[in-house]
Amino acid sequence: MSEERSLNFIEEIVEEDLAAGKNGGRVLTRFPPEPNGYLHIGHAKSICLNFGLAKKYNGQTNLRFDDTNPVKEDVEYVDSIKEDVKWLGFEWANELYASDYFDNLYDFAVLLIQKGLAYVDDSTAEEIAAQKGTPTEPGKGNQYRNRSVEENLQLFADMKDGKYPDGAKVLRAKIDLASPNMLLRDPLMYRIKHAHHHRTGDKWCIYPMYDFAHGQSDAIEEITHSICTLEFVPHRALYDLFIKELEIFPSKQYEFARLNLNYTVMSKRKLLQLVEDGFVDGWDDPRMPTISGLRRRGYTPASIREFCERIGVAKRENMIDVGLLEFCIREDLNKTAWRRMAVLDPVKLVIDNYAEGQTEILHGENNPEVEGGDGSREIPFGKELWIEREDFMEVPPKKYFRLGIGTMVRLKNAYIIKGESVVKDADGNITEIHCTYIPESKSGSDTSGINVKGTIHWISTEHAKEAEVRMYDRLFQVEDPSNEDGDFKDYINPNSLQILDKVYIEPDLANAVAGKPVQFIRKGYFTLDKNSTAGKLVFNRTVTLKDGWVKK
């Protein structure tokens, strides 16, 4: 493995803690998604970090749903999140929910009220915002701030008992209205929401805010290293403060820079818009940066884990080139995907000196990268073939080493041929290419002594099967759609999906199975889409092959 890889800053912290004997050598992390959307590649970074850390240091990781806002959350999301984490190859120690702790959290709130550190405020949201001041002006208090402990206790109990409508009252921490950290200006701890919760049903009508739930949840589980993204840095003061005042397990929060990928968007809000406004075919559209989208596109768990390993973990803002993700999937699939032939844009090729009606069964390796071989399949060959339109040129430029009139090329796994003539329709489009073949040049028993520079793929017209192929490209035309003027949706790539409804594939591909990626030789990696049926195969292009041939 990568034993000599240097440590990232969080691993350094863990190793220091371990060396200092902190937590008795125990490492317990957590992955805390809110079940209000599907997981995306940015979450994958966090998942790999949290679960990877635990794995590396003989610890464990809890999967904890941060479900403190019932109006936005749903079991549909819980299920998809669990599926995605599992698919990525990780196992959680415990499946937990912040809502499991609503009783504890309520008791914690009561405790803070008793300590004079929390109060019930009757102000409206607007009034509270106005009283908070601005980053440069201190906030102001109000009359509710001086309520007695007894009154606060009673009012908070009444809030819980449903005596007030939504928004009538909130519980606030009494900290410092003049703090330079806006989050410390008496933050809300609880709000009233008469809403049905996906787990606790109608038991509660008050729900804790993130800041009054997350740190305490970590503490209850005795999480040793609570890792989150940079935007939570200012929240750390609150995180530590509540833990200190409640005298509970001192979990520690550490922050890293979230992943940004170019040519896509990563916020759940924006992804939801793409889904709801029909710009994509659901959360798992192969163009989406969601885990489910990448899975449908043909990405493998190993490739995503490798990607997360390569991008590193640090505290500076970053924008990762999607090319790195593509490198990772190519690297993985090159070693595992079976090679097959498919002609995406067909033109007919006739071999003039090959006997009419003759057929041969040729053989092609499944994967030349596998040492010792990975078996082979049979490929029928005949007088008439489909080849790629772009693999022939009547007047080839100097560095073109595919087929031309008078030039030779090898048909993959078959014979060397020489272009002879073309047939065109009234518009001048080539409808047929005629060639001759060299009988002694058969793959595996070539005695022709001829060396050709190019090799092209082909399908026997008599034996060809048909399939639909979906060619995907980046969803956006600009690197950072969120940072452009106007609406990010204005920058969607109109050619992000090109459907080829009549692609010729070799007969063996009729055996293609979902979840087993194939390489269409010289074209890229493809995988069967979930819309595929026995009667109609549908392939998604995962990624092209790297193209070293740049014209001109």
Partner RNA sequence: UGCCUGAUAGUAUAAUGGUAGUACGACGGUUUUUGGUACCGUUUGUCUUGGUUCGAAUCCAGGUCGGGCAACCA
Our CB check for RNA shows the closer of 88 and 183 to be 183
136 lines the binding site for RNA (CB under 7 A): yes
Does residue 268 have an active-site annotation? yes
Q: Which of 258, 270, 389, 522 is catalytic?
A: 258
Q: How far apart are CA 38 and CA 76, in angstroms?
A: 9
519 lines the binding site for RNA (CB under 7 A): yes
Concatenated DSSP letters of 259-309: P-BTTS---HHHHHHHHHTTSSSSTT-TTS-BHHHHHHHT--HHHHHHHHH
Which of 116, 162, 167, 439 is in the footprint of RNA by CB under 7 A? 167
Our CB check for RNA shows the closer of 94 and 531 to be 94
Amino acid identity, position 432: E
Q: Which of 34, 222, 420, 432 is catalytic?
A: 34
Our CB check for RNA shows the closer of 34 and 222 to be 34
Distances, alpha carbon 219 to alpha carbons 21, 102, 173, 214, in Å: 19, 14, 19, 9
Q: How far apart are CA 115 and CA 503, in angstroms?
A: 73
Minimal distance in Å, beta carbon 531 to RNA? 26
Q: How far apart are CA 530 and CA 520, in angstroms?
A: 19
Which of 166, 176, 202, 394 is in the footprint of RNA by CB under 7 A? 166
Our CB check for RNA shows the closer of 115 and 310 to be 310
99 lines the binding site for RNA (CB under 7 A): no
The 22-61 site mask, x for binding RNA (CB under 7 A), equals ----------x-x---------------------------
Q: Using CA atoms in the order 111, 117, 118, 123, what is the torsion angle rounded to 10 degrees?
A: 170
Contact present, 255 and 228 (Cβ < 8 Å): yes
Which of 60, 104, 154, 334 is in the footprint of RNA by CB under 7 A? 334
401 lines the binding site for RNA (CB under 7 A): yes
Contact present, 86 and 44 (Cβ < 8 Å): no
268-278 per-residue burial string, b: 16 or more CB within 10 A, e: under 16? bebbeebbeee
User: In the range 344-373, which residues lie near RNA by CB under 7 A?
Assistant: 367-369
142 lines the binding site for RNA (CB under 7 A): no
374 lines the binding site for RNA (CB under 7 A): no
Which of 75, 324, 370, 423 is in the footprint of RNA by CB under 7 A? 324
Q: How far apart are CA 77 and CA 75, in angstroms?
A: 5
Beta strands 524-528 and 538-543 are antiparallel
Our CB check for RNA shows the closer of 67 and 285 to be 67
319 lines the binding site for RNA (CB under 7 A): yes
Q: Which of 45, 160, 268, 339 is catalytic?
A: 268
Minimal distance in Å, beta carbon 383 to RNA? 19
Minimal distance in Å, beta carbon 102 to RNA? 12
CA angle 355, 358, 362 (to 5 degrees): 120
Minimal distance in Å, beta carbon 199 to RNA? 14
Q: Please state the separation of Cα 62 from the chain's center in Å.
A: 21
75 lines the binding site for RNA (CB under 7 A): no
Q: Which residue is it, tokens 């200092």?
A: 20
Does residue 255 have an active-site annotation? no
Q: Would you report the helix, strand and coil content of the chain in percent, each value rounded to 5?
A: 30, 25, 45
Number of residues that bind RNA (CB under 7 A): 89
Minimal distance in Å, beta carbon 43 to RNA? 11
User: In the range 418-457, which residues lie near RNA by CB under 7 A?
Assistant: 441-444, 446, 454-456
Nearest one of 83, 111, 106 to 95, comparing CA atoms = 83
Does residue 34 have an active-site annotation? yes
Q: What are the catalytic residues?
A: 34, 258, 268
